[in-house]
Every structure is written in structure tokens, then in C-alpha cells.
Structure 1
Amino acid sequence: MEQSKIEDLLRQMTLEEKIGQLTQITGDFYSDKAEERTGPMSQLGLNEDQIMNIGTVLGVVGAAECKRIQGQYMDRNRLHIPTMFMGDVIHGYETIFPIPLGLASSWDTGAFKEMAQVSAEEASVSGLSAVFSPMVDLVRDPRWGRVMESTGEDPFLNGKLASALVKGYQGEPGDLQDHFNKVAACVKHFAAYGAVTGGRDYNTVDMSEQRLRDVYLRGYRAAIEAGARLVMTSFNTVGGIPATGNRHLMQDILRDEFGFDGVLISDFGAVKELISHGVAADETQAADLSIHAGVDIEMMTLCYMHTLEALVESGAVDERLIDASVLRILQLKNELGLFEHPFRGADEEREKEVVFSEEHRAVARRVTAESLVLLRNNDSILPLKESQSVALLGPAAQSPDVLGAWSWRGRTDRAVTLMQGLREHALACDASIASKVRTTEERCDYFIPTESVVAESVELAKRSDVVVLALGELSTMSGEASSRSNIRLPKGQVALFNAVHQVNPHIVVVLFNGRPLDLHDIEAADAILEAWYPGTEGGSAIADVLYGSVNPSGKVTMSFPESAGQIPIYYDEDNTGRPYEQAPNEKYVSKYLDVSNYAAYPFGFGLSYSRFTYGSLESSGNGFSTEHPVTISVNITNDSDVDGVEIAQLYVRDLVGEVVRPVKQLKGFQRVALAAGETTRVDFELEENDVRYVHLDDSMHSDPGDFLVWVGGNSRDLSEPIRLHLE
């Protein structure tokens, strides 16, 4: 539809119809069973006519249901404006991929894009037009439950991965209208939700404007520059003002500075929560604050519907504000092709072919294997040999709870468990060795294993060459509203580990979890494989890595602390006036008395079955400038007899700045495939705009001077630095 027709449609709308477009409700209001509609409608005080005027719908399932609701809606909507279906598709629709924190461990923008493409195809054929992803909240506190939805602690990597997700969901400009296997991406949560105090969900965020802009806003901006068509507000305060009513954040920064011209939607109930925050006395004030902040869609509360009409009549709200919001919503629907094709991609027959297809499961298995991180491998206990007898023990050994939180449409009954994955691998090799993988008859509890399970586990461990011990968190222990003050393994699991270790020290721990954990209770393990919540094909992908069909290449994107007392702990911390590194034996330096300053497993860390060595760095010059970038080169050798993939990482330190700069910052990374014994030259280009940062006046520019540059396999183990000068 031409823009002039969209504007003409807006002129025909009554104020009541406009306000309806600014509201989102859940699909149960549109149930085809009157008794199922009655409760929700009564609770919110809605009638049948009103729900046929509401602009967007949350959480409807399936092509047939979306088509039924859309057809009924279009018949009863006066101007035949289609509604739009949105949903929480975070790491897959029905084919579930690893949680985003796990997927980020692949450091593979191509894998991120593939995941989003698969998700978009499954979601769109099932009737959705927009998904609430990517989550771009930078996180440095693993106590926060929603860390599992993030991509970790680094602004640079966060932005690269967010951009890849947006492009995977939406495709190229124009694809949303021309290709109905694409969906609109919604960037969330704007802004700085990952910095909540104490890692407690829905809590306060308090930081300087400089840090907000320089560290936390970079990822959102990258996603917006990639073309994301929606942004979601966060629950937290920023600068003492809740984000949903924060005009400075939403208008001055998001709209004016970032140039975002898409749809801004509140999080679930966030408009009315302005009352709970204490910045609004009632629904009227909450609506007033939100509409002036530029929130276009209110999700699942009715402050707009209840009060905006009166606010316009009183002159407190200019109707042109409402018109601007409605126009953005209509334009998004037009971009999605909904006016010409209100059912868009929804297709029951294709839904059966596309959703959870063998092709999509194969992609998930390959991508999942890339996301697994080998944290420890003493004496090369891994990969396992098919000839070895294996005792597969622990609460996650047979559990289908491998999908993780926000796997809305995922089905655990179709997920591959670790036991299934190991046995299928064994059968594929030789049916006779499948019996070498044994487990307990009784399922092991995550918190208090029974005495009989412990006894059987010990007996199996005695009679096995290797123990694979599957430990971790239930999926309900991470995700929204699942913050934890204690991020150690449950005591019952530690007791099981110790009991087994007494009879067989050859233990490979496989971890299923949604956050970095304090792992000092299992220091005696020979190997630790971080599997995260690996998704639909988790068991198969883990088996691929444990038996060496796939060489692990994942690297963590969030530091694992030695102790929760170190939190927040992250690699790119600011230097201090008394840095520990300059005088580690002195008392009056920045350190702890009872634990080190360092992570147990630092950002960027991950082992391989290969061994990679780095040569000395070389540069194309002694400096760089705005007009002339510099190339940093290094030879990397696979000094082993196993083909592998190394993730080479470039780090930079600005030695003198107007604002204190971090001790090092990631500025580039490359996945490098190396055959056994192969050496290859890897080049990184460093430009002046790579070292720009936000100054005290909020301007973004660089400071001339000297920089240190490193390359290595993680943020701790790096080459000798070279010094470069910025003119």
C-alpha cells in the first residue's frame, strides 16, 4: 500500500480506533470458545467490539488459529485494518537451538543468522509476523536469571551477534513485504536491563550517562542500524526514571540520536507498572508519561484505552502524538504486507512440512555442537573411545529438560536427551558397543538424589572406564524471574560427584545451565564440557563432541567466577590507581584477601582437541589514523594431529584517555579452520573508529596517543603486545 493511502486510512480513524491500535492483548481474548474469552475480558473490562479494534495480538499458536482470528477480526473491523501476531521466539520456534548465551559461545555470526532464519520460517508459516528477539542486554552479573537470553559481557561481540540475528529474521530491506518467510525483529530491552542491581530481576539500574552510552547502548544501536523494526522498553529504571516513561531515553536517544523510526512497544504490563515504581499516581498519569516518551504499543494493560481519550480532550495530550504512533504501527503492518495479505505466511499445509523439519533439526545439531565449550580436559580424557565403558550418571543424564527457558513452542518429548544421544552414537558406530553406555534405573533428582540412586551410581562407576556425570540447573532455575544469589551446583549434586569420585576419578562433567556457575565444588573433575541448555538436538550434538566426531571450538562470552563474591566480574574492567598487576605482593592494591581478582574461566576461553600456537604479531605500520587503518597479522599453527577451529581474538588498550579506559577491549575476532599441522596467517584491520568512545560531553570520538594491541585465544592468554600510535 502506498504511503498516501496509509495516511488517508489514518485520517479516517476515530480516536477510539487509534487508541485500539496502540494496545496489545493475548490470544485467549479471541478464543472460539465463549467461556474461555469471558474470564480475560471481564478481568480487563473489554467488550467484543473493543477486542476487534486492538492492533496487535500476543502469543497465538498455529497457522489455523491465526487465520481464524484474522478472518474474524477483518470482518468486524470497520476499516478492515489487519491485526498483527507477535510471539516470544527467542532461540527457536519449535526447532529449539541453544539458549542465546550458549549460541554466543560459537562466536559465529553465520550460525546466529541461520538460527534466526530457521526461526523466522517456522514462526511465519505458523502465523507470526514479529518476534521478541534479539535481546541485546549486556550482562556482567550471572546471578541475573535472564543472562541466559543474552550474548554475554562484551559490547563489541554483543553488537555483532545482535546485528546477525536481525538480518536473519528480517532478511534484506524489502524482504518483509516480499518474502513471507521473514518476520520483524524486536530489540529488547531498552535499556540496560542487564545491569540490574544485585542481579535481581525487575530491579533498579543506576549508572553514569557516560557508561550507559559507552558500554550498554552499543549493542542496541548495532541492532537498530541493522534495521530492526521494533524496540521493546525495559522494566528497570534508568537515571531514576522507569524506561517505559523515560522521555530522555526513548525520545532523545532512541529516536533522535539513533534515528529509530520503527515501533516502540512496552514490555508486559510495563506501562501500568509506572504506578508501582512510584512515578505515576494512577493509570492516567502512567499513560501520559508513556505516550510522551513515545511508547507506541502498550502490552497487556489498558492505561491507554482507559485514559488517552480523556487526556486528548483535556489538552494534556496532543492527538498528533497518538497519530504519530498509529502511523508507525500502520507502516509496520504495511512493510509486512498485511494489508494485501492479511494471512501473510500462515499456511497449515506448509506448517506441517516446515516446522520441526529434518532439515531444521540438522541445522540445530550442527550449530549446537559449535556452541559447546570444553572448559577442562586433563590428560586428554576426551574424546571418549568407543571401546570404553561409560557410566552416564547425574540428574541431567536422562532428562529431557534441555530446552531452557523461553522455548515457548519447544516440546521436551521431542528433545534428544544425553542418554539418547550417546546410545544413538554408539549404535551408529557398532551395535555391540551400545551396551557399554549404562545409566541408573531410577532417575536422579537435581537437588537430593536418593540413597538408592547414589548407591547404584557408585556401583556403575566402579565397573566403568569413564564416568560422564550430567549436572547443572533445572530450566526453571534460570530465565525471567529466576535470579539466584548462590550460583554453585546444588549440594546434592556435589555429594553425588564426591561419592562417584571416590571410586572412579575419571569423571567428565557435562553441564546443563543457563548462566556461568561457580564450579569450585567439582575441581577434581578430569573434564568439564559446558553444554548450556542445548536445545532440541542437544543430546546428539553433545555425543558428537564427547566422541570426537566434532572437535569443540566454543568459547565463553561471559566470565565464570571463582566465587560469587567476585561478582560482577568481567574482562574489560577499568584500570585503577593501584592496580594489582603492578604490585601483586603489596597490601594496598585493588585485590581480595580470600580469592583472586580473576575469573576461573575468562571471557573468550575454551579448549579444543587441537593445540593452537600463536606467532609474534606484525603490523603494517607503527600507527593508524582516520584515513589510514593498520593491519595486524599473526601466524596461527595447529600444532596437533587433529583438524580444528580456533577463534582468534584481537584486543586493544587505549593507554591514555579523557575518561579512564578498560585494561583491554575486544575489537575483532575470526573463526579460523586449521587442518592438523597447518599454519595460516590471520589479518585484523584496526581503524580509528574502532577506538572511539563516549566522552564526558557525550560525544563519540577517539583520543590521539598510544595503544597496546594483543591477539590470542582468549582474553587472558594473549601474545606479547605491540604498541601503535593514533595520529
Structure 2
Amino acid sequence: MHVRIPAMAAALLGLASVFFSPASLPAPATAEGAKGADARIESLIARMTVEEKVGQLSLYGPANTNIPGNPQAGQRNAQQEIDDVRAGRVTGLFNNEGLERKRVLQEVAVRESRLGIPLLYGADVIHGFRTIFPMPLAEAASWEPELAERTARAAAVEASADGFRWTFAPMVDIARDARWGRGIEGAGEDVYLANQFAAARVRGFQGADLSRGDSLLATPKHFAAYGAAEGGLDYAATDISERTLRQVYLPPFRAALDAGALSVMSAFNEISGIPSIANPALLTGVLRDEWKFKGFVVSDYTADEELIAHGYAADGREAAKQSFLAGTDVSMQSGLYMRHLPELVASGEVPMARLDDAVRRVLWVKQKLGLFDQPLRGLDAAPAQPRADNPAHIALAREDARRSIVLLKNERAVLPLPKAGRKIALIGPFASGTQDLLGAWSLFPGQAAPVGIDDGLRAALADPGALAVVRGSGIDAPLAGGIEAAVAAAREADVVVLAIGESERMSGEARSRTDIGIPQAQQDLAEAVAATGKPVVVLLSNGRAMALKGAVRNADAILVTWFLGVQTGNAIADVVFGDFNPSGRLPVSFPQASGQVPFYYGQKRTGRPLPDYDQAMAFKTRYVDTTNRALYPFGHGIGYAPVRYDGMELSQDRLPIGGTLRVRATVTNTGQREAEEVVQLYAAERAASVTRPVRELKNFRKVRIGPGASKVVEFTLRPDDLQFIGRDMKPTVEPGEFDLWVAPSAADGIKKSFALTRE
């Protein structure tokens, strides 16, 4: 049954109300809703003035803060900040540093404001707070959601100790265009993998009980389809079908809400001409009516005010009205709600019931966090008390980092390197120092210093003097004499370790790239070093899938080391010297060339597919200057022990609706070391009422296999796992012929087929 969008929302949405007609899905498993809030909340709402109600919907960054290039709306000085808190004009603050100021403002809120409603402090805790873990995309390369849950838990413990109880994470946007810099904040291109990491991170941030003092309210973002922005540009328009929206971009949000998230951040982008922050079909139709979401929606930074620049609102008053009526409960930073909502309510253009409902949601979440009962919990530590690094969190950061590294190739078994008896030349702009190791969103002071790559390698060597370190070039510009010095060092060495790639400022928000290759200065360095004929191991620093060429592509070994955080050097040394067998797998496809993007494995079939046996055949879906294949496909990665897949079996060749299918395969370690393999299950329907992708990930297992040993890996497949969005925009499962692969990547594997039947 389709859920009706309220008449007012439909009027705002226009023709797009047809485009976004919500399908029938079960409600997410959330706790009791805001409608069931207790008498204390209802009593507060009954006593609040309109201005105080709007205050609970107004969120600001810290006073006296100027972020160059970001809109400066809503900026205030310290006295204005206190005055607003005392008057009840603020629901909370975000990214404000230090316990002392937070405590002062919270005391003003609960002791000096008329109603004593506590503040909620939020922060961009994206991949750690004091202990910086690998960027989320890197962590997704572990293919271990449980690991992400543990790092999110550690981040929550550290952030809550600094007074924060709310994080604007996880980012759950699917990213299939490597030009988009914010892909670094998510889990990559695949829906199934993204669902697992979205749920895990919510569980980690929020813990078992949201009212505990070390929990962080999670905020899946950006709702919705921000990762599909045209041209890979931040803040740009998105133009996708409703089917793609529902099949690809909405499921990770649903997974996060099912895991218990009680706030959602709307997106900057528009879809089909309707900016997300003012889209009632998304914020009311999908979230409220269809999914029965009981938490609150917060805007992204000044997104409501940006409706004017979008050309969707004539002025701030109209922007506030459209955002609020669409379903955006809390306005971040712009101040538009405080300036315009009281008058909009007085005029009758915004119903009081809508205002009360939004306030009820916010107060209910504050109550769930335990703020009413213990508003100063976590804020009463000694001011400016230095905190020592948590040894358990540092150890977790090292584990996380080395599990995030992906070995793409290892010709002539050049890796692992011995710790003694060989001279190593560590060359490249990332070879020494600690800059560009943490990645974007490392915001807060007092963070543990990262371990440099040179320090990590040197500490692991039997003779630290066997390591020569030369920069060779800058990140995007040559250094005078740099290549000459690098070539000289390479000639004196037995092996070259080339630390190249992207700087921190090349990935992240507002950091889109048209060319996803290695910057030319570094490419020139790589070519010169490779010409010495010495074995070359590439350490690729990156926040996205990259298009590799020349000496980089042809290196003997390539390790994708991403932005690994505080334990970068130690984790890389663990893998390079073989103390840890690399087990990471790509969460994004590496294309052959930049011109292939957007590129992802789960593409649709065409009427003229290019056969594998002839990549040059004319009048087929092909490029004239490269193949259609990935250079390194989604799911790819190897370890130091080769493995073999065989013996695939299905429990039956016909799967009835309501039944289950068991899929087994044998994975054999043919090497001399233990293997840790990510065994992946893919499915594809041969013919359906709506065209389907060539493959879809349905499950995976990470298994350890001893040298020379075999392990039978089993999956259970149910008809619901084969669900897709049908012609009527409702989830459906259709009988038909299916292919299954048990595989080490999305472009490989052993294959069997079965029929899904009605009986």
C-alpha cells in the first residue's frame, strides 16, 4: 500500500510527489516514539513560548569561530552565545572545544534559563576523536563491520569524555564516482557492504544504552543520494530514478535506523529539482510515514539558507518555511528558524502542531540521552586536564590500520621484505614526517601524534641504518634536485619503497578531482626510480579509488594504505615486513582510467554486451582506448598465501519461495603461511521485469586457513535476499533463473545456477 503524502507536502513537491511515492516496507525497529514521550516533555511543551520552542530547533557552531570559505551565517560572539542559551534560543552547539566552556554553558541552560532544558553538544566524530583511526573508506576495506563497531565505540568513549553526546556520523552515502572527495567518509560502492558498516557504526557510537554517559547519538547522513552528485561535485544536483534511489541509496539509511539511530542529517543536493532539505516526500513521506522514524532530522550546515542560492526559495523566510514544513526539524547554523518561524506560526502558515511535534522529537531524544536527569554528566572533570593516550585504543588503531591495507599485486613475491640483510630506499613525499597521515576530519586538539612511515619501518628493522629516506618530490610539484637524489638512493638500495599518492587536502568535503591519477610530479618520480631496475613496492596514500598508470601501475607490489590514522607507520611496517598478512579487500573498484568514472562493479547489462573473449569487438558497449574491466575490481585483494576456490555445491537446484538454499565452496590455502580470505557470494537474475545488475554482493565471510589446509565456507540464501524494487516501486521477488558465484572479487569466482520457483 502506498502511503499518502500530506496535502501540504504534496503541494510543495509538485510533480515529484509521483516520483517519490513511498513503497510499503516494514517500520524500522526503533524504541518507543516521541508521541509516547512522558509527562515531563508534555509539560514543558505546554509551558514553552513559541520562541523557546524554536530555540529547541536551532543549532550553532561555537562562538568566535570563522571557517574560511564556509558560510558565516549565525556567527556570534561569546556573550551573545551565553545570552541565547539563557533565553532558551539554542538547543545545542557543535564542534565546540573543551570541557570548561561546555560546562559553563550547560550550567546557564539548566540553572538560569526559564525552563532549564539542557543543551546537546554535537561533533563531527568521523573516524575517531583523540585516537584517530583509519578513514571510514579505509576501514571498510577490512570487510569487518565488527571492527568498525569497536572503533566507533572507542571514539564515543573519547568524545563523550570531552562533553559531546552527538556525532554527525556515520556517513552512509553510496559513492560510485571516485571524483567525489566525500567518498572517503563512507563504505564505498556496494549496498550490502554499506548496510553492514552503517549498522555497525551506529551500534558502536550509541552502545547498548543511549542513556549511558559514554554514548553518542548517531546521525546517518546525508539523506539522500548525496553520493550521486553530478560530476562528482560536492553540493551539486543529483538526477536519478526513484528505483535507483530506493534500490541503491536509501538502504544504508534504513540499516542505520534499524540499528537504532535517532537523528538523520538531510543532504545539500537536490533530487529531480527538489532540494533534499525541503523535500517532503523524503523527509515526511519516506522517513515518517513509510519508515515510522521517531527521531529528528537536522539540516546540514546552513542548508536551509542555501535554498535561496538553489533558486528554490525567494528569501530566508520562504527557505525556513519550506524546510520546516518538509520535515527538517533542526536548523544548523543559519539562524533562519529563530528569525522566521515565530512569525510563520503567528500567521498560520506553519501549524503549531507541526512546531510542537518537532520540539517533542528533540526533547524525547534528549531524554533518551539522559540529559534531563544528568545534564552535567561528563562535564564535571577538572578543566584543561591533559588526558593520556588510551593504550587499548592505540592498539585498536594499529589493528584497524593494518586490517585496512589492501595488497593489490605482489609479483615475484617481493613482499614481505626481510628485516635484515637488505638496503631499503624509502622514497616519496609521504616517506617522512607526520603530515597527511590522519586524513580529513581530524578536528580536535590533543590528538595523539601519528607514527610516520619512516619511523614505523625503521623501528621494525634489525639495523635502522639500512633505511635511506628521500622525499624525491612534493605532492603536486617537483623538488629541486629531488629526482636526482631519489635515483641515487634507489641505485644504492636493494629495494625501493615508494610512498606516493594524495595529500589529506585532496580527499574529503569540497575536494573533488577531475583526474583521479597520481599527481604528475610524483608520476615523474616513479618513472625515474623504476628506470633503475630495482624492485619497487608502492605504498599508495589515497582517499578514493585511483587510476594508476606507468611505473606505478607496473610496480612489483602495490599496497593501498589509504589514510590510516595515528598508527600509520607501525601498521604499514607490520604488513611490509610480514608480521601481519594483508587481509584487506577493495570496497571500491579501481578503474583503468579516470574517464571511466562513475565506475562500479554492479552495472546494468546492455543490449550489446562486450564478450570477454574479444575486448576490441566493434558495435558493442566498449571504449576504443581501454577495456571495460576494472584495473582492480571491487572485493579484490591478496595476501602472502595464495588460495584456490573449488568444489562449489548447492543444496538444491530449485529454491521455492519461503525456502532456503545452502551454498558451499571449498577454499584451499596453497601457500606456506596462514591465509585470511574474504569469501564473497554474488548473485544475478538472468531475466526479470526490471533489468538487474550483472552481479550483486549478497554475503561474505572472512576466514582463516592454515598453510596447505582447506576450509568449506557455507552461505544460506533466502528468497528475500533476491529482492529488488519492481515496476510498481515496491519490493518484489520474482521467480526465475539465477547465477551464483563464490568468489574472491566481483570479477572472478566459481559459478553455479538455480531456479527460484513459486513452490
TM-score by length of structure 2 reads 0.91
Can you list the C-alpha shifts for 1:626-656, whole angstroms capped at 9, x where unaligned?
4211110011111111112100000000111
Q: CA deviation at 1:349?
A: 6.0
Pick one of 106, 113, 127 that aligns with 1:77. 113
Corresponding residue number in structure 2 for 1:434: 464
- Alignment partner of 2:548 out of 519, 533, 536: 519
1:721 is the counterpart of 2:752: yes
Aligned to 1:119: 155
Of 585, 595, 600, 1:570 maps to 600
Corresponding position: 1:360 with 2:425:
no
**Counterpart check, 1:107 vs 2:138:** no
- 1:133 correspondence with 2:169: yes
| Selected match of 1:324 from 330, 340, 357 | 357
Partner of 2:626: 595
Match of 2:641 in 1: 610
Partner of residue 155, structure 1: 191
Kindly tell me: are residues 352 and 658 of structure 1, through their superposed partners in 2, closer, same or farther at Cα, counting changes over 3 Å? farther
User: Cα deviations across residues 333-361 of structure 1 (Å, max 9, x unaligned)?
Assistant: 10000011112334536996876311101
Alpha-carbon offset, residue 507 of structure 1: 0.7
Aligned-residue offset at 1:39: 10
Per residue, is there more helix in 1 or in 2? 1
Determine if the alignment matches structure 1 residue 464 to structure 2 residue 493: yes
CA deviation after TM superposition for structure 1 residue 378, in Å: 0.8
For structure 2, the 5+ residue unaligned runs are: 1-35, 67-71
1:689 aligns with 2:725: no
1:223 is displaced (CA, Å) by 0.7
User: Which residue identity does 2:120 align to in structure 1?
Assistant: M
1:40 to 54, 58, 75: 75
User: What is the CA RMSD across the aligned residues, in angstroms?
Assistant: 2.2
**Cα drift, residue 94 of structure 1:** 1.4
Measured after TM superposition, the shift of residue 588 of structure 1 is: 1.4
After superposing the two structures, state which structure 1 stretch, 403-412 or 621-630, moved more.
403-412
CA distance in 1, matches of 2:52, 2:447: 42
CA distance in 2, matches of 1:631, 1:44: 65
Secondary structure of 2:600's counterpart equals coil
Q: Are the aligned partners of 2:735 and 2:756 in contact in 1 as well (CA < 8 Å)?
A: yes
Alpha-carbon distance change, 630 to 355 in structure 1, aligned in 2, over 3 angstroms: farther
Following superposition, the deviation at residue 502 of structure 1 comes to 1.6
Verify: 1:645 aligned to 2:676, yes or no: yes
Cα distance change of structure 1 residues 17 and 655 upon mapping to structure 2, 3 Å threshold:
same
Partners of 2:65 and 2:510 lie apart in 1 by 28
State the partner residue of 2:424.
390
**Paired residue secondary structure (2:353):** helix
Please state if 1:559 is matched with 2:589: yes
Q: Is contact 1:467-1:504 (8 Å) kept?
A: no
Quick one: which of 515, 531, 536 aligns to 1:486?
515
Distance in 2, Cα, partners of 1:47 & 1:276: 31
Paired-residue identity, %: 38
Mark the CA change 1:121 to 1:351 in structure 2 (over 3 Å): closer, same or farther: farther
Q: Is 1:10 paired with 2:45?
A: yes
Q: Closer, same or farther in 2 for the Cα pair 1:448/1:276, shift >3 Å?
A: same
Question: 2-side partners of 1:657 and 1:338: how far apart?
Answer: 51
Q: CA deviation at 1:30?
A: 10
Amino acid at match of 2:423: S
Normalised by the size of structure 1, how large is the TM-score?
0.95
Q: Structure 2: how far apart are the matches of 1:23 and 1:243?
A: 19
Q: List per-residue Cα deviations over 1:651-688 (Å, max 9, x = no partner).
A: 00011111100011000001101111111111001011
- Per the TM alignment, residue 454 of structure 1 is displaced from its structure 2 partner at its CA by 1.8
Deviation at 1:615, TM superposition (A): 1.2
Residues 130 and 447, structure 2, Cα contact 8 Å, conserved in 1: no
What letter is aligned with 2:543? G
Verify: 1:529 aligned to 2:559, yes or no: yes
Decide whether the 8 Å contact of 2:170 with 2:201 is kept in 1: yes
Rate the CA distance shift 1:47–1:115 in 2: closer, same or farther, 3 A. Answer: closer
* Structure 1 match to 2:527: 498
Cα pair 2:401 2:568 within 8 Å, conserved: yes
CA distance in 2, matches of 1:570, 1:351: 47
**Could you tell me how far 1:29 is from its partner in structure 2?**
6.0
Q: Is the 8 A contact 2:59 2:94 kept in 1?
A: yes
For 1:320, the aligned partner's letter is: A
- Which letter does structure 2 place at the counterpart of 1:220? F
Alignment of 1:202-601 (within 5 A): 202-346=235-379, 348=381, 356-387=389-420, 388-400=422-434, 401-409=436-444, 414-426=449-461, 430=462, 433-440=463-470, 444-521=473-550, 522-581=552-611, 584=614, 586-601=617-632
**C-alpha deviations, 1:569-588, integer Å up to 9, x for none?**
11110111111127845311
Measure the CA separation in 2 of the matches of 1:353 and 1:2.
39
Distance 1:228 1:39, change over 3 A: closer
Q: 1:199 to 1:49 in 2, by over 3 A?
A: closer
Conserved 8 A contact 2:655-2:754: no
How far 1:224 sits from its partner (Å)? 0.9
Contact 1:130/1:184 (CA < 8 Å) preserved in 2?
Answer: yes
What code does the residue aligned with 1:675 have?
Answer: G
8 Å contact from structure 1 (residues 122, 354) kept in 2? no
Shift of 1:564: 1.0
Amino acid at match of 1:417: G
Q: Please list the CA deviations of residues 513-536 of structure 1 after superposition, one character each: whole Å capped at 9, or x if unmatched.
A: 111111113223111100000101
Q: Which amino acid aligns with 1:165?
A: R
Find the residue that maps to 2:647 and give its secondary structure.
Answer: coil
Secondary structure of the 1:391 match is: strand
Post-superposition shift, 1:7?
Answer: 1.0
Cα separation, partners in 2 of 1:624 and 1:171, compared to 1, 3 Å? farther
Q: 1:698 offset after TM fit, Å?
A: 1.2
Residues 501, 410 of structure 1: alpha-carbon distance in 2 compared, 3 angstrom cutoff? farther
Aligned residue pairs total: 713
Long gaps (5+) in structure 1:
32-36
Question: Which SS does the other structure have where 1:668 is aligned?
Answer: strand
Report the 3-state secondary structure (helix = DSSP H, G, I; strand = E; otherwise coil) of the residue aligned with 1:40: coil
For residues 44 and 352 of structure 1, the distance between their equivalents in structure 2, rounded to whole angstroms, comes to 25
> What does the per-residue CA deviation read over 1:56-115, in whole Å, with 9 as the maximum and x for residues that have no partner?
111112333322221133232110000000000001111111111100000001111011
Contact 1:398 1:443 in 2 (8 A): no
**Structure-2 change in CA distance of 1:38 and 1:348 (3 Å):** farther
